[in-house]
Structure 1
Amino acid sequence: MENSAAFQLMRFQILTAAHSEAVGQKLSAAYIYAWDRGIFPTAHEGADWHKPFIDYFDVGQDMVDDLIKVLDENKFTFYELEDYYDNSEWDRAQLIGACRYLFLSEYFDFDWNRLLTPMEHPTEASSITRPFSLDDIYLN
């Protein structure tokens, strides 16, 4: 089986399992979100399911690792973060998604209020700190 097909099957299984009562409660919100949005779940080293598919995530491991480093070393607003990554492989939706993944992961102590300073982020970035809901995960 081609690896991209195997990736899509694994993605479907993770997202389907998230909706089941027996398994869903054992998967973290951040891990589910990462699979749904195609973000490499670098903060979830204990899970092995994503490791064979490192090249198939839209936001790869190197991108997420670099974002963690940048956020850890800087006190950016979202627009400043976006400017920092101007002319790179990042786009706005990917930055928002990766930041949301890191927020849901509680990966590190970070001032999310600073990133989301009023008038210093696009409206859609407000979703970064919104509570997670399985209702936001669609299987279509």
Structure 2
Amino acid sequence: MPRTLLALGAAVIGAAGCVWYLPALSDLRAGDDRPPALRTAALACLTGWGTLAAVVLLLLAQAPWRVAGAVAAVGAAAASSLAVRAGLLRRRDRREAGQWAEQLGAPPVAAPGRPGRTALAWGLSGVALAAAGTPFLVRQLLLA
């Protein structure tokens, strides 16, 4: 696959990702008006999308594959570590809110709901369909 085509596809995905990185940017710009967990999660989001933009530029500049791969790996590691830190901060915030509610005699703060088995089933069926369709796609590409 030509690098330019790959860069174009990644750029389109990056443009579509504005539904994630524009709110994250506004959370960061709000500064201390947002809790640290939210700001750290926003930074993780912007790091991930910024990494995609950097890889697109490297692909358009015809940089070696190793360089683009290294930038992608470092960016993914940085975004992942920031996301983990945001999760830990969020958990600490919930624990503190529960302690405050307990001291005030208020009902305990409920944790937000988690995706149920339905989301897991949809996700796994999508992975299974992708895995089942990959050999067919590879065969079509090789015969073309």
- Between structure 1 and structure 2, the one with the greater Rg is 2
Greater RCO, CA 8 A, separation 6+: 1
Higher helix residue share: 2
Q: TM-score scaled by structure 2?
A: 0.28
Q: TM-score scaled by structure 1?
A: 0.28
